[in-house]
Structure 1
Amino acid sequence: MAITFNHTIVASRDRAGSAAFFTELFGLPAAAEFGPFLAVTLNHGVSLDFAQAPDGADIHPQHYAFLVSENEFDEIYSRIRERGLQHWADPHGRQPGEINHHDGGRGVYFPDPSGHYLEIITRPYGSGA
């Protein structure tokens, strides 16, 4: 059986702002309107569907990790730094302003405008150096 991940809904305080933040930071085409969602398409047809959270609703932060090439890491990390975004080498925020080198690659964590934790890595965890 071949199971492929297709999409997930990302709760947002401002769906348009969150979708634009993501597409601009990652260098992707603008999100497409799909019903109540703004869908950002990734590789293999996977999409992040940004949804507007009701006013006053709590957003429970989620973690979204993305495998990127070395060149994409350089581009995204450059945008993170240009925007002055907080970022960390670790998921607990104990190494601010740094990147990690797990499995011989590079990785960094940073927040999106709604408080979700985004991560970019160049090597899958456990892949070895």
Structure 2
Amino acid sequence: MTVQLNHTIVAAHDKRASARFLADVLGLEVSPPYGPFIPVEVPNGVTLDFMETAGEITPQHYAFLVSEDDFDTIFHRIRAAGLTYWADPFHHHPGEINHNDGGRGAYFDDPNGHRLEILTRPYGSGDDNG
């Protein structure tokens, strides 16, 4: 059996601005609108389809596995944009990154409060130092 995540819908108050935020931070492109969605495709073929909502948004967590070099580039963009970042998903360690499983990771929020994460090693893949 082959199962792959194809897309997920991301609630946003301004779908265009939210898609642009994610694309800019990760160094990706915003795809043309598809129905009510503004998609951002990540290199493994999964799209995050931003959909506008006027209601309250329940924050979700989106984690992106990146190379060490990409981490440096993305983390530079996070700091250059003046975004607050944390070493943990609970926002207990501001201004820090983690070194879980021998890699590096950081959390930051998008304009709608979604918790975004970049990490260089999948959880459970190595030594846990953090």
State TM-score, norm by structure 2: 0.95
Distance 2:112 2:7 in 1: 19
Match of 1:83 among 67, 81, 84: 81
Question: 2:61 corresponds to which letter in structure 1?
Answer: H
Distance 1:73 1:117 in 2: 17
Distance 1:44 1:119 in 2: 16
Equivalent residues in 2 for 1:1-129, closer than 5 Å: 1-54=1-54, 57-129=55-127
Question: 1:17 corresponds to which letter in structure 2?
Answer: A
State whether residues 73 and 121 of structure 1, in contact with CA within 8 Å, keep that contact through their aligned partners in structure 2: yes
**Deviation for aligned residue 1:27:** 0.5
Paired residue secondary structure (1:114) = coil
Deviations 1:47-100 (A, max 9, x none): 00000012xx11000000010000110011000000110110011111100100
Question: 2:67 corresponds to which letter in structure 1?
Answer: S
Consecutive aligned runs of 4 or more in structure 1 exceeding 3 Å deviation = none
Cα-Cα RMSD: 0.8
Gaps of 5+ in 2: none
**Deviation for aligned residue 1:30:** 2.3
Question: 1:58 corresponds to which letter in structure 2?
Answer: E
State how many pairs are aligned. Answer: 127
